[in-house]
Amino acid sequence: MSKTLTFDDLKSRVTAGDIDTVLVCLVDMQGRLMGKRFHAVNFVESAYKETHCCDYLLATDLEMATPDGYAASSWERGYGDYIMQPDLDTIRLIPWLEGTAMVMCDVLDHHTHQEVPHSPRAVLKKQVQRLKELGFIAKTATELEFFIFEKSLDEIRKSGFKDLEPISGYNEDYHILQTTKEEHIMRPLRNCLFDAGIPVENSKGEAEAGQEELNIRYDEALNCAEYHTIAKHAAKEIAWQKGHAATFVSKWHHERVGSSSHIHQSLWTLDGESAFYDKDGEFTMSKTMQHYVAGLLKYAQDTTYFLAPYINSYKRFAKGTFAPTKVIWSVDNRTAAFRLCGDGTKAVRIECRVGGSDINPYLAIAAQLAAGIAGLEEKLELAPATSGDIYENEAAEDLPTNLRDAATQLENSKMLRAAMGDVVVEHYVRAAHWEQEEFDRVVTDYEIARGFEKA
């Protein structure tokens, strides 16, 4: 399949006139691509070294508002510059945009030239390095679930997000006929991503009307996060090009199932052997895997914010919806928060089912790795697997059921403060508090309809 481009490849294509635009991108707190469109000649001549951006890009909300309370960026500090330093190993074609390539950037402090610690890419790189120092490489894969709607993003926005109609009329889980009707979006999405060097495996209908799932082959954690971010961006852009809207909001309607982003995880030795597989272990799980999974369980409540970062995220956690509610692991059981997959094979791995489609994959994967590392360092013992309907297991601890509680768990997490640093934790605690504050001040349609006459 196609690979990422070398810088020399890019220069040759620019000289030949095949590429005229380079997207120079960072990943913001919400997991979105932010940056600049460079004329390709300017990029290969000078901007490949660095460019600048306002430091507020890592201190905004979904609306691009500039909340107060951030230590790193504020009106008091004057909203200065960060350096965007292109990672030239991440250059790739963007086939759904004519004559366009993309490069991902690290975000550096303008004065020290050190990575900004709360940059999502830096947060993940730190956990990857911690694992490497322990002798492991993390390989992960994220499933992307999303809804496609009949109308375009612009039409839906102008209507006030009313009368939303999915592109299909019924549950399309694994449904070939219905997904054929969506191939004008999904086929170019699969093929363009593949041509961009992103190892797409397949797409399928999911368990609701208009819901699709895109699956990308597992890779090292940083690559996985990059694949996820670019694929999510591509899904929105290609749907828009076709006159439709694609949304990754976790729960768009209370009567519809939500969209998840399950995270599959495994550790490998530096020599390329699975550190999770032991042919003689229970379910072929090695002691390393058992410690790692025990860490995921012990710190599941601490890490929930990074898997459910918005008010809406928690509407997805509901009994009988395949979204978990309990801190439990089980073997091939989709009612559990953590599902053991591939037991009996060298592909044995753990799937975290907590995350919604609205995750920032860099932060979500980093939080999982931090919890797993804690399990390794503390040599935590893994409790026996649980079976049956986990929703009915009253003995199990609950996941946080709202953003306020998840933010409190994050703020009080000694593990995450040690793993990520106080600066990072405080930054994202403020992000969580701001989301709650913004919601708390709004009068919703539900409140008016329920109480206007009857209260």
CATH number for the domain harbouring residue 159: 3.30.590.10
Residue 348: what pLDDT? 95
Residue 207: what pLDDT? 87
Pull the structure tokens for residue 109: 């402090």
Q: Please indicate, yes or no, if residue 133 is contained in any of the structural domains.
A: no
Q: Please indicate, yes or no, if residue 180 is contained in any of the structural domains.
A: yes
Least confident span in 273-282, 356-365, 392-401: 392-401
Residues 322, 245, single domain; the answer is: no
Q: What's the whole-number mean pLDDT along residues 170-190?
A: 93
Residue 1: what pLDDT? 43
Q: Which whole-number Å values give the CA distances from 292 to 217, 298, 308, 362, 372, in the listed order?
A: 22, 10, 21, 19, 4
Q: How far apart are CA 290 and CA 269, in angstroms?
A: 16
Residues 327, 433, single domain; the answer is: yes
Q: Please indicate, yes or no, if residue 31 is contained in any of the structural domains.
A: yes
Residue 184: what pLDDT? 97
Q: What's the whole-number mean pLDDT along residues 217-227?
A: 97
Residues 281, 240, single domain; the answer is: no
Confidence category of residue 363, pLDDT binned at 50, 70, 90: very high
280-327 tens-digit pLDDT:
999 999 999 999 999 999 999 999 999 999 999 999 998 888 889 889
Residues 306, 389, single domain; the answer is: yes
What is the domain extent for residue 218? Answer: 144-259
Q: Please indicate, yes or no, if residue 323 is contained in any of the structural domains.
A: yes
Mean per-residue pLDDT of the chain: 94
Residues 443, 376, single domain; the answer is: yes
318-359 tens-digit pLDDT:
888 888 988 999 998 888 899 999 998 999 999 999 999 999
Residue 38: what pLDDT? 98
CATH of residue 67's domain is 3.10.20.70
Residues 437, 314, single domain; the answer is: yes
Residues 433, 301, single domain; the answer is: yes
234-279 tens-digit pLDDT:
999 999 999 999 999 999 999 999 999 999 999 999 999 999 999 9
The sign of the CA dihedral 361, 362, 367, 372 is: positive
Residue 335: what pLDDT? 84
Q: Please indicate, yes or no, if residue 132 is contained in any of the structural domains.
A: no
104-139 tens-digit pLDDT:
999 999 889 999 999 999 999 999 999 999 999 999
Q: How far apart are CA 46 and CA 32, in angstroms?
A: 25
In percent, how much of the chain has pLDDT > 70? 100
Q: Please indicate, yes or no, if residue 125 is contained in any of the structural domains.
A: no
Q: What is the pTM of this model?
A: 0.96
Q: Please indicate, yes or no, if residue 137 is contained in any of the structural domains.
A: no
Residue 319: what pLDDT? 84
Q: What's the whole-number mean pLDDT along residues 57-67?
A: 93
Residues 245, 280, single domain; the answer is: no
Residues 383, 243, single domain; the answer is: no
pLDDT score of 96 more than 70? yes
In percent, how much of the chain has pLDDT > 90? 85
Residues 346, 390, single domain; the answer is: yes
Residues 308, 397, single domain; the answer is: yes
Residues 149, 105, single domain; the answer is: no
421-440 tens-digit pLDDT:
999 999 999 999 999 999 99
Q: Please indicate, yes or no, if residue 130 is contained in any of the structural domains.
A: no
> Number of folded domains in the chain?
3
